Amino acid sequence: LNSLSSGLFKMGQPRLFDKSAIQSVIDLPALMKNLEKGLILYSEGHAVIPPIGFLHLNQPPGDVHIKFGYFLEHEYYVIKIASGFYNNPTIGLPSSQGLMLLFKQKTGELEAILLDEGFLTDLRTAIVGAICAKQFAPSALNCIGIVGTGTQARYQLNLLKYATDCRQVLVWGRHPAKVQDFLADPHFSDFSLKAASSLEELGFHCRLIVTATTSSHPLLFSSFIQPGTHITAVGADGKGKQELDPHLLQKADLVIADSLQQCQAFGDLSYVKDLSSIPRLMELGQWLKNKKSLTREKEWITIADLTGVAVADIQIAQDVYKKLSSLDNEGRGH
């Protein structure tokens, strides 16, 4: 039997890259630009993106997302697996895990394995957050509000360096000890961090707020939010998760969805009963494509509901692999 399928055809082995190799080729400004392009292509219908695969584990709790698809007329299709096992840090492991796979669109052959351990998913989520901050946060910004103290909250703040000059930050988390850890993180030495005593306080002081929690109930209510505020909500990426009160979304002047289909299915927008009550609702890619003819009024409350789109995974996987394979670097890929 073995001989039935071996030896008949000669195949190349896929190229394999580990996290440190992947991290060595990250060029954030270029990635930001390319992710914008990918989001535009997606909103224009130039990508094939089937529904996300979800797998839930219970003991301990873990969520696995399988996101996949391809851009029309590109070379590869991409499957990315990313998981959050939120108890991992208690045993010294990162909560994020995963990998990305590139296959040839024409033959299905596995071209490359990016053993990113969830890094590229965390990164592209934060890059999309930074893209939103650049588009929608007021230019005169006194204070950034970070809601959440986990891995993604840290990535988001880190990437905001590329979107705003503001370095004043209020941080809110459920667990005071985790807030203290966050404040002490040496990666944030550029920032001036303080703990917010409440979400109301954070809302009062911050005109850019990023929520990155695993919450299953609303954290931000419209009464907390001042005119001229932009909120990027990245936590609600699967059924049962929620960070924003539906009334806050309905009160917003502009709501941006990374994917209208996904946000309506399981994002914060999924809790809004009547989407027609939102005066302006569009996909991030639509905004980016038409931004020259669009204006965000100064007093608007704007919200970006980010569920995490496969196009961002496909784009970052392709970009990183292109860089890795352009390196004449036999030792790294094997």
What the block records as the tokens of 154 is: 């840290």
Asked if 240 is part of the footprint of a second copy (rule: CB under 8 A), the reply reads: no
The nearer residue to a second copy, 16 or 183, going by C-beta atoms, is 16
The nearer residue to a second copy, 17 or 224, going by C-beta atoms, is 17
What the block records as the tokens of 215 is: 């919450």
d(CA 138, CA 126): 19
Helices (H), ranges, the chain: 2-5, 19-24, 28-43, 119-136, 151-160, 176-183, 199-205, 246-251, 260-266, 284-290, 310-326
- The greatest distance separating any two alpha carbons of the chain, rounded to the nearest whole angstrom, comes to 71
Q: Find the binding residues for a second copy in span 8-27 (CB under 8 A).
A: 8-11, 13-14, 16, 18-20, 23-24, 26
Among the listed ranges 114-122, 172-180, 231-239, 246-254, the one in contact with a second copy (CB under 8 A) is 114-122
**Closest distance of CB 232 from a second copy, Å:** 18
Asked if 235 is part of the footprint of a second copy (rule: CB under 8 A), the reply reads: no
Phi, psi of 46 (to 5 degrees): -95, 20
**Closest distance of CB 119 from a second copy, Å:** 5
Q: Which of 35, 38, 71, 84 binds a second copy (CB under 8 A)?
A: 84
Asked if 66 is part of the footprint of a second copy (rule: CB under 8 A), the reply reads: yes
Q: What's the distance, Cα to Cα, between the start and end of the chain in Å?
A: 29
Find out whether 257 and 281 touch, Cβ atoms under 8 Å. yes
Convert residues 195-234 into a mask of x (bound to a second copy by CB under 8 A) and - (unbound): ----------------------------------------
Q: Find the binding residues for a second copy in span 23-62 (CB under 8 A).
A: 23-24, 26, 28, 48, 50-51, 53-57, 59-60, 62
Q: Which of 30, 33, 44, 109 binds a second copy (CB under 8 A)?
A: 109
Asked if 99 is part of the footprint of a second copy (rule: CB under 8 A), the reply reads: yes
d(CA 153, CA 104): 34
Among the listed ranges 36-44, 148-156, 234-242, 255-263, the one in contact with a second copy (CB under 8 A) is 148-156
Q: Which residues are registered as beta bridge partners of 16?
A: 113
Cα angle 284-142-306, degrees, rounded to a multiple of 5: 20
Asked if 282 is part of the footprint of a second copy (rule: CB under 8 A), the reply reads: no
Q: Which of 32, 41, 71, 97 binds a second copy (CB under 8 A)?
A: 97
Q: Which of 34, 43, 158, 213 binds a second copy (CB under 8 A)?
A: 158
Find out whether 254 and 248 touch, Cβ atoms under 8 Å. no
User: What's 227's DSSP letter?
Assistant: T
